[in-house]
Structure 1
Amino acid sequence: MSSYDVLLITVDSLRRDFLGAYRDRPRVVDYDVATPNLDRFAERAAVFDSHYAGSLPCMPQRREFICGIQEFLWRPWGPVEPYDRTVPALAGEAGATTKLVTDHYHYFEHGSHGYYEDYDGFEFVRGHEYDHWKTAPRYPDERLLDQDNRHDADPADPGPGGAGQYPRNVADFDELDERDFFAPKVFSETARWIDDNADWDQWFCYVDSFDVHEPFHCPEPYASMYTDEDPTDPEMVNWPDYAPVDEQGLTDRQLEFVKSQFAGKVTMVDRWFGRVLDRLDRQNAWADTVVVVTTDHGEMLGEHGYVMKNYMPTYDAVAHTPLLVSHPDGHDGRVDAVTSAVDVYATVLESLGADVPEHTHSRSLLPLVAGDADEHREYALYGYFGADACVTDGRYTLLQPGDADAPVNVYSTMQLTGPEPAAEPATLPYTDATVWRLPDGTGSRQADQALLFDTDADPGQGTDLAEERPDELARMRGLLEDAMRDLDAPDEQFDRLGLVPGD
């Protein structure tokens, strides 16, 4: 395949079942959610049906996208490592002009550096979630505070973040004018950038939209689009806690409102994503441009009694993610092969005509996009550092819990643990650089026991088959061991997961 311009778009927390390309109606609501622009894009794209997240959540997944490293077996949320070769750096070496457009404030926090510095330019839309932006008004909108189920601290307490940060950030937003909100700003800037940069010989633009991430605070018409409730009612929660539904006291009425606001954000993102498609249409850019649309993870919206992510077993609502790829030399149709989020890295680089470094964990998806291959991976491996590890073969999924009392180590060139770790030099299988092995206490446990699901027969993962199908459980555990051996994962990870490391 030749080299092309590349537009990579990630929509944070986007559930695949909310897209018409994947399902007529989301599993958790009894109404259709409008995504006409994502649907029209899907008509010209390869639609991946067995695509999965990798290292969760936000920044670990972005290291996979941008650096090609599936990191969750070695380290948690953290910065780009000095030995990482980022997509924008390699794109620049190949002659492409590079741009980042984002409202994802985690790029600019302590411990997340290195993700934006290699771009020729970046646009940061300020104010989402805990972005340390506005310090006034000291006493922000009480209604938004009431609709936040996560905080009970005094919003007027000094210090960045906390209960008052988001209400301060959006204090000047007009809830009747969607242009004030984040997704409209991100995608409007993207459309302008495409217009203004058409003269470059080649470009790579990464659009990282933090929406549809919480808080699920929507402007009109989206706030009222999927609910009969008054979106300004202080009792209607738009920012749930990271806790089970019953533990945080969400009523059925409040949970349904949360779902409606999530749906509203999806439709808002879709509308403004359409502006980008219009620009590509206007410039006749489809013959020269590869467009990749995906997410880092999904979001629980009441299934199994959970909302949000991270603390519960990693069900498919979080891990089974959308991926759509439009390529000038590709086909428009379904792709059944098992693929992983880390594969975005090699796919983007190969589309740009840039070299894909050795020793990354990424495999280009372009043979699948071109229709030259039917298979890609035997499995997809995913999970959180120090927590459960999961594997799927595209039909069965295994969620394997770890021993919460077992020690875990962080492997990094930087100190990502406490202030006085007993660090020792160590090596990694995917770099020649020497790193530190830093004790990080013990891990966590998301599931009480191993969970096995047949997602063909049970896509909602409502029936655990671990006891009923011991042979299948043993096979999937063997597949998880193979996956970890293929990566040459640390022995302590096998130990805490109750697996055999092999030779």
Structure 2
Amino acid sequence: MRSIMIMLDTLNRRALSAYGGEGVITPNIDRLAEQSVVFDQHWSGSLPCMPARRDMMTGRAAFLEKGWGGIEPFDQTLPAALREAGVFSHIVTDHYHYFATGGENYCQSFSTWDFHRGQEDDPWLSSVADLPKRAEYYGQVREQCDKNRTQFIREEDYPGPRTIQAACDWLERNGREDRYFLTVEAFDPHEPFDTPDHYLEMYQDSYEGPAYSWPKYGTVDVPPDALAHIQKRYAATLTMIDVWLGKLFDTMERLDILDDTMIIFTTDHGLLLGEHEQTGKNVMHVYNELANIPLMIRLPEGQGAGTRIKALTQNIDLMPTILDYMGVEIPETVQGASLRLLIEGTQEHIREAALYGYHGMCVNVTDGRYTYMRAPVSPDNYPCYTYTAMPTTFRSYLGRIAPEQIEAGRFLPYTSYPVFKIPESTKGLKYARNQFVMETRLYDLSNDQAQEHPLHDEAAEARMIELLINGMRQAGAPEEQYVRLGLA
């Protein structure tokens, strides 16, 4: 038995025909969907990039205790569990956050790993001289990113295509071996949306305004033609990576390994491209475009192809599912559940609700019909702490707010390993990250799938609060989280 997990970063399910999307050209993802079990109510857990990956690799949602950061020394990971059972694991990726401060110990837990440079502002191309300044542009422009782009001459030079080609090469050497786990991870279609012009031409893009390939995070601040252009750039980047996924699928078919291989296809989160009058992620409410993500599982020999699963599932379920199919014991620390019984039709649901969010922001819950976004009760977001033995975060270090208040102890109920308790907010001082999410919201998805009309229904809110509290208890939420959200 072999397992291959394919993950694209920032993949909006609404771009895929399997989820009712129209206008985006993805024939190879469509081809996989036709051969797969497709999950309609699959949700993220911790957001964004690295928190989502920790969820997937540990089977636990960690956003209530920690945000962006490395794998902890006490984490029991998927590759480690496989290795103990004699299963070889390999990851091929161009996701450069793994190799920046705050991305420690993810790839290193695999048997081997392969990293392809150049995405976003990966410190790759070394040039002391500055590039000429752009005269006009919208959104974000970063000099290191522009330096990296000078190396993208042919389509084969772009990091996404290089990554997929490296996965094909790995399969050529190893594909027919037994009992391995391969992760193929492309940063595309994550912003900035870099792709050769011929993919943009497929979308009849006639934009002639200032350069715009990397939207800012927040309220839309560009004219309509620029917004349409960035939407087409996203679609074109997705189409490019779809073409290369076709080469990967062709390789699997030619090697004749599909009869004994499980393929998982998913993402970490989505992205806003004008919906809710916002672009990006991280700073706004976790709308469905961000949290309700695609999941397709192609079973050996295409078993169950065409089946749609309506039960609530989350990314924490991927680790136990892979271990279950690979015949490996699931660690006790895992909070997710194997999807195998859902797939086989012997179980109707594995959870009553799905909990998701960013550390220190709203805590969100859905039961499949309603989504509830519980906001902090105070602009200072107090009290809020990070619990970690690895005090790194996104390209920086934790603990700069009030280092004299940092404590160390055995604060986490599921491990005896001591961790730091680091304050994330200061009483009386406004918490800048929460400027867009200080309003609690309830949406009825059966009547308002686009989440445009907040609902005022005391009975429905009371039920969602109960689900929220139960989910937080099951996740082992620190006690101050209930105080921060006005749930104490």
Moved more, 55-64 or 371-380: 371-380
Which residue among 438, 450, 456 is the counterpart of 2:422?
A: 438
User: Alignment partner of 1:407: what SS?
Assistant: coil
TM-score of the superposed pair, with normalisation by structure 1: 0.90
Distance 2:459 2:10 in 1: 34
Distance 1:286 1:371 in 2: 22
Moved more, 79-88 or 194-203: 194-203
Distance 1:55 1:259 in 2: 25
Report the equivalent of 1:157: none
Residue 367 of structure 1 deviates from its aligned partner by: 1.3
Distance change (3 Å), C-alpha of 1:171 and 1:109: same
Distance 1:146 1:128 in 2: 22
1:410 aligns with 2:386: yes
CA contact (8 A) 1:141 1:167 kept: no
Unaligned runs of 5+ in 2: 393-397
Residues 393-472 of structure 1: pairs in structure 2 closer than 5 A: 393-402=367-376, 403-405=378-380, 406-416=382-392, 417-419=398-400, 420-421=403-404, 422-442=406-426, 444-445=433-434, 446-465=436-455, 467=456, 469-472=457-460
Report the equivalent of 1:87: 78
CA contact (8 A) 2:379 2:438 kept: no
Report the equivalent of 1:8: 5
Report the equivalent of 2:464: 476
1:237 aligns with 2:225: no
Report the equivalent of 1:56: 47
Residue 355 of structure 1 deviates from its aligned partner by: 1.8
Report the equivalent of 1:208: 185
Moved more, 63-72 or 364-373: 364-373
CA contact (8 A) 1:150 1:242 kept: no
Residue by residue, what CA displacement relative to the aligned partner does 1:404-451 show, whole Å, maximum 9, x if unpaired?
A: 311211111233422534213133122232322222225543423211
Distance 2:354 2:362 in 1: 14
Residue 234 of structure 1 deviates from its aligned partner by: 6.0
Residue 277 of structure 1 deviates from its aligned partner by: 1.0
Distance 1:485 1:435 in 2: 20
Report the equivalent of 1:314: 286
Distance 1:410 1:221 in 2: 46
Report the equivalent of 2:274: 302
Distance 1:24 1:113 in 2: 36
Cα-Cα RMSD: 1.7
Greater helix proportion: 2
Aligned length: 470
User: Alignment partner of 1:321: what SS?
Assistant: coil
Which residue among 149, 152, 173 is the counterpart of 1:170?
A: 149
Distance change (3 Å), C-alpha of 1:148 and 1:430: farther
Distance 2:76 2:136 in 1: 44
Residue by residue, what CA displacement relative to the aligned partner does 1:310-356 show, whole Å, maximum 9, x if unpaired?
A: 10111000000000011127412100000111111111222222221
Report the equivalent of 2:26: 35
Distance 1:352 1:139 in 2: 50
Residues 245-324 of structure 1: pairs in structure 2 closer than 5 A: 245=220, 249-324=221-296
Residue 111 of structure 1 deviates from its aligned partner by: 2.1
**One-letter code aligned to 2:390:** M
Report the equivalent of 2:352: 378
Residue by residue, what CA displacement relative to the aligned partner does 1:5-61 show, whole Å, maximum 9, x if unpaired?
A: 110111100000101101142xxxxxx111111111111111000000100000000
Report the equivalent of 1:156: none
**One-letter code aligned to 2:349:** E
Report the equivalent of 2:317: 343
CA contact (8 A) 1:389 1:401 kept: yes
User: Alignment partner of 1:441: what SS?
Assistant: coil
Report the equivalent of 1:498: 486
**One-letter code aligned to 2:269:** H
**One-letter code aligned to 2:304:** H
Report the equivalent of 1:192: 169
Residue by residue, what CA displacement relative to the aligned partner does 1:156-188 show, whole Å, maximum 9, x if unpaired?
A: xxxxxxx210110121212xx321212211111
CA contact (8 A) 1:215 1:239 kept: yes
Distance 1:198 1:414 in 2: 36
**One-letter code aligned to 1:426:** R
Distance 1:404 1:380 in 2: 26
Report the equivalent of 1:159: none
User: Alignment partner of 2:204: what SS?
Assistant: coil
Report the equivalent of 2:105: 114
Distance 1:76 1:37 in 2: 34
CA contact (8 A) 2:374 2:441 kept: yes
Residue 387 of structure 1 deviates from its aligned partner by: 0.5
Moved more, 40-49 or 483-492: 483-492
Unaligned runs of 5+ in 1: 26-31, 152-162
Distance 1:141 1:61 in 2: 37
**One-letter code aligned to 2:418:** T
Residues 122-141 of structure 1: pairs in structure 2 closer than 5 A: 122-136=113-127, 138-140=129-131
User: Alignment partner of 2:219: what SS?
Assistant: coil
Residue by residue, what CA displacement relative to the aligned partner does 1:101-150 show, whole Å, maximum 9, x if unpaired?
A: 0000000011211001122221111010120111227233656x844522
1:331 aligns with 2:304: yes
**One-letter code aligned to 1:429:** P
User: Alignment partner of 2:300: what SS?
Assistant: coil
Moved more, 88-97 or 389-398: 88-97
**One-letter code aligned to 2:273:** L
**One-letter code aligned to 1:363:** A
CA contact (8 A) 2:209 2:226 kept: no
Distance change (3 Å), C-alpha of 1:254 and 1:435: same
User: Alignment partner of 2:109: what SS?
Assistant: coil
Residue 298 of structure 1 deviates from its aligned partner by: 0.2
